């Protein structure tokens, strides 16, 4: 008999809109009351991102087969007993209509999910037991692990818990739990960390499934510059990230709309096989992708230290896998993937707006191409529909999430998460005309980076010379620029949030440049006033005296010319 069923047990952490309290709810409760919850509230934002994709996979699957009233599409062959789609559908049959998008619009208007979601979950109840002798959730059985990977390699709770991520060779000194409790996990924690671990894994473990020579996965989410949309409540968030359309993915190969097949619709060994035969050909599969075959002790109790066995699976192809909508894309200028796109992780310690071109997929600089994340293209499609005009003044939140690694190619151990968000008016976000708001904002961000580098950056490079630093030592320059970016960060977010489509682009740009000039001047003055005796004495360079006073004078001149030249 199975134990701890995710449909009934409270494991999804949410924030309730009324009162803002955090609580745990079951999978069925999430969909029954999604409009009553503000957001997911797990231990980490990257964990929430992984769990969100599992929830969206349910919706992608259900509403690719059934309409908003719970009726199967008349053009789709559905097994009544299992609710599975039996065959692919040819996209050529939908030249003049988009019935999946009509379903999406109907669901948005209703503001809640119909009973068909609960019916679907019940149909697959046996696949949602965390502990089960045949279909353990997101796992293989111990017998199957023995068969495919000679039992796998041992793994512990402190490895699975990403707030610890302790290796077997080095103790995590600042772990959020006591030393003797690092391997203890409650059942609800175990579910959340299991889902996250399949997405953010690393490569430090040794055992492989079938001793494959294929490149092994470090977790599909690990390499993404994750992007998702957040609405006013969890219902809106789930809907905004659920892509239902028969024509949205026209550029993907093949004429067929592949059936949506999440991991729980496959048996454990089928889930292993799919990574060897290229079977991740639909979003529900991608959103529930495994990086490891994992086998739990099916008799595990919460009072015991947790351990399991794992083995590496082949990775999902990264190159131009545009089926993935929740990532930024980077253009490869060199290497084996030259002139192709691959997922681009967010940069640590840098606000996402500083790479506006990558986030929005706009511009073309120095031979580099940019591609918009699919989820933003999807939002454009939503907003262009006449029935969704009310969204024009909707303040949409764009969230970003990446996992920072240790830089060690033999382990890629996670060391921190990179999270951020920006908010802007929908009408501004979707104004992607050649001279529209997105192009103008991108130009402004590029100019901001350029002006900071040519004014404050030049000043700090001169100061580095005065202080005798080596020419390759950029720590003073980088530190000063980052401090300035921190100073202007919230102001830029507020400026972006305040833009309305009907505003004058010229006036809004002048407003920002006026603030930026004052911020740069203030930072330069702060550095000048903090000068020491050596800075004042300076050095002799090319027959001239270079000190903090001469450098500051040049800085003031550069600021003026940058902001006031015609």
User: Mapped to the 3 state alphabet, what secondary structure does 109-164 carry?
Assistant: HHCCCCHHHHHHHHHCHHHHEEECCCCCCCCCCHHHHHHHHCCCEEEEHHHHCCCC
Residue with more model confidence, 246 or 515: 515
pLDDT number for residue 382: 96
* 8 A C-beta contact, residue 307 and residue 157: yes
* 8 A C-beta contact, residue 373 and residue 325: yes
Sheet of strand 37-40, all strands in order from the earlier edge strand to the far edge: 22-25, 12-16, 37-40
- Report the residue count for the chain: 566
CA of 225: how far to CAs of 17, 196, 218, in Å? 28, 15, 15
Q: Give tens-digit pLDDT for 526-565.
A: 999 999 999 999 999 888 889 999 999 999 999 999 999 7
Question: Could you tell me where in the chain the CATH 1.10.132.100 domains are found?
Answer: 437-564
pLDDT number for residue 118: 98
How many CB atoms are located within 10 Å of the residue 338 CB? 9
The angle subtended at Cα 113 by Cα 109 and Cα 119, nearest 5°, is 150
Q: Which two tokens stand for residue 519?
A: 């911020």
What's the mean pLDDT in 213-238?
96
- Which three-class secondary structure state does DSSP give residue 533? helix
Architecture of domain 437-564: Orthogonal Bundle (1.10)
Residue 368 confidence (pLDDT) above 80: no
Residue 248, H or E segment:
none
pTM over 0.85: yes
Q: Give tens-digit pLDDT for 40-95.
A: 999 999 999 999 999 999 999 999 999 999 999 998 999 988 999 998 888 878 87
Q: Give tens-digit pLDDT for 161-210.
A: 988 766 655 555 445 665 667 899 999 999 999 999 999 999 999 999 99
Alpha-carbon distance 107 to 194, whole Å? 30
Residues with Cβ within 8 Å of 389's Cβ and at least 6 positions away in sequence, in order, are none
CA of 514: how far to CAs of 411, 488, 510, 518, in Å? 47, 12, 6, 6
Q: Give tens-digit pLDDT for 273-299.
A: 999 998 899 999 999 999 999 999 999
Alpha-carbon distance 495 to 514, whole Å? 12
């Amino acid at each position: 008999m199975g134990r701890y069923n995710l449909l009934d047990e409270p494991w999804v952490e949410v924030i309730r809109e009324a009162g803002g309290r955090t609580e745990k709810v079951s999978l069925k409760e999430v969909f029954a009351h999604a409009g009553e919850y503000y957001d997911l509230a797990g231990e980490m934002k990257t964990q929430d991102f992984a769990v969100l994709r599992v929830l969206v996979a349910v919706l992608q699957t259900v509403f690719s087969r059934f309409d908003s009233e719970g009726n199967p599409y008349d053009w789709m062959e559905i097994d009544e007993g299992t609710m599975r789609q039996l065959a692919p559908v040819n996209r050529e049959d939908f030249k003049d209509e988009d019935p999946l998008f009509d379903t999406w619009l109907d669901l948005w208007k209703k503001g809640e999910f119909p009973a068909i979601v609960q019916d679907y979950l019940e149909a697959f109840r046996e696949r949602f037991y965390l502990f089960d002798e045949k279909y353990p959730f997101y796992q293989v059985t111990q017998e199957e692990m023995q068969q495919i990977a000679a039992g796998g390699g041992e793994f512990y709770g402190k490895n699975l818990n990403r707030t610890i991520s302790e290796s077997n060779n080095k103790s995590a000194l600042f772990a959020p739990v006591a030393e003797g409790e690092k391997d203890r996990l409650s059942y609800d924690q175990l579910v959340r960390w299991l889902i996250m671990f399949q997405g953010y894994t690393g490569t430090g473990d040794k055992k492989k499934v079938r001793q494959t020579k294929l490149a092994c996965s470090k977790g599909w989410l690990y390499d993404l510059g994750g992007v998702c949309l957040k609405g006013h409540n969890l219902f809106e968030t789930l809907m905004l990230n659920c892509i239902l359309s028969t024509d949205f993915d026209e550029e993907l190969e093949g004429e067929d709309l592949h059936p949506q097949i999440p991991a729980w619709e496959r048996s454990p060994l089928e889930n292993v096989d799919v990574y060897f035969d290229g079977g991740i050909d639909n979003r529900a599969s991608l959103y529930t992708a495994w990086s490891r075959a994992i086998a739990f002790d099916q008799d595990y109790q919460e009072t015991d230290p947790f351990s399991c066995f794992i083995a590496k699976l082949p990775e999902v192809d990264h190159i131009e896998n545009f089926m993935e909508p929740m990532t930024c894309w980077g253009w490869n200028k060199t290497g084996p993937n030259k002139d192709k796109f691959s997922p681009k992780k967010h940069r640590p310690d840098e606000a996402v707006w500083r790479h506006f071109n990558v986030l929005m997929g706009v511009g073309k600089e120095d031979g580099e191409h940019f591609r918009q994340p699919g989820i933003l293209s999807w939002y454009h499609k939503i907003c262009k529909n006449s029935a969704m005009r009310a969204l024009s003044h909707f303040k949409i939140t764009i969230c970003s999430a990446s996992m920072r690694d240790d830089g060690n190619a033999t382990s890629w151990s996670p060391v921190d998460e990179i999270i951020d968000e920006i908010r802007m008016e929908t009408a501004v976000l979707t104004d992607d005309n050649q001279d529209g708001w997105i192009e103008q904002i991108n130009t402004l961000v590029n100019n901001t980076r350029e002006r900071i580098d040519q004014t404050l950056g030049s000043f700090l490079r001169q100061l580095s010379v005065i202080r005798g630093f080596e020419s390759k030592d950029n720590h003073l320059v980088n530190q000063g620029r980052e401090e300035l970016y921190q100073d202007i960060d919230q102001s830029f977010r507020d400026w972006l949030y305040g833009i309305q489509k009907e505003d004058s682009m010229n006036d809004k740009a002048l407003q920002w440049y006026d603030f930026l000039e004052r911020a740069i001047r203030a930072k330069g003055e702060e550095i000048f006033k903090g000068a020491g005796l050596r800075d004042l004495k300076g050095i002799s360079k090319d027959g001239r005296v270079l000190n903090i006073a001469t450098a500051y004078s040049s800085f003031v001149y550069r600021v003026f010319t940058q902001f006031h030249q015609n």
